[in-house]
Amino acid sequence: MFDSFLDINFLYFIFLIIFLISGIVKGVTGIGLPMTSITLLIFFINPLQAIGLNMIPVIIANITQFLSAQNPLKIAKKYYLFGIFMVAGVLVTSLQAATLGDDLIKLLIGLMVMIFALDNLFRRSWSFDLKYDKYWQIGMGSLAGVVGGLTSIWGIPIIIYLILRKVSKEDFVDTTGFLFLIASVPATYGYYKTDVFSLEMIPIAALCAVTAIIGMRLGRIVRRRIDADTFKKYLLLLFLLIGIRMIWSAMGGI
């Protein structure tokens, strides 16, 4: 089921550790579960398998996050346009992901990781006029759908949009939970139809989801004890280095 140089039992142990770490990252910063898990999984299995394994943990983690929102229905109504265009894009491009090849997928993921890290490290205080919000929702929702369907990292356009919109911290957490959740549903369907995600993955993916939830709870505890901004800065620097490494590898580097 998984192409790896490791013994299968040890590989599954590695999976659980990776999703525990990814859950901690999400618990501390509020984001970054799929970014962290896919980035680390690629060191042990091929990119498409990493994407497939990621689906159930992402769905469960974001159900947990969205249902904890103060007013889930209000969030859904506010960002429905973004959601519609994103879901459409994910549904179409997720059916094409399996045809791209490992190196191109790795290149796309590396670029997404780099953009995410650079944007968060060096962002300026940009914004847009809210009277044009529906056009921003259509544009950024479409972009999130295209890149998300190919890589399952739809969070970068979502995060950039919410930052430009200058939403509150509470709105940011609630909205990412909603948009990440609805993106993962058509993605899972598309990946299942193209064998990126298979039913054989469900048992280990479910265990990974459990460790991710445990990690999220640990992360919330850690967040109260450390400077979350400092943690996030070092994490972003690590993402930047890993993104560069993935791009170099995808382009034929060692």
pLDDT at 33 over 90: no
Give the residue-averaged pLDDT of 188-206.
Answer: 93
90-104 pLDDT tens trace: 999 999 888 887 788
Task: Provide the pLDDT for residue 124.
Answer: 63
Those residues with Cβ within 8 angstroms of residue 74's Cβ, 6 or more apart along the chain or in another chain: none
pLDDT bin (cut points 50, 70, 90) of residue 253 is: low
pLDDT at 174 over 60: yes
**Rounded-to-5 percentages of helix, strand, coil across the chain:** 80, 0, 20
Max mean pLDDT range (102-111, 135-144, 219-228): 135-144
Token representation of residue 209: 């989801």
pLDDT at 206 over 90: yes
Give the residue-averaged pLDDT of 116-142.
Answer: 84
pLDDT at 6 over 90: no
What residue has token string 């809210």? 130
Please tell me the distance from the alpha carbon of residue 19 to that of residue 56, in angstroms, as a whole number.
11
230-241 pLDDT tens trace: 777 777 787 788
Task: Provide the pLDDT for residue 45.
Answer: 93
Percent of the chain residues topping a pLDDT of 90: 40
DSSP state letter for 45: S
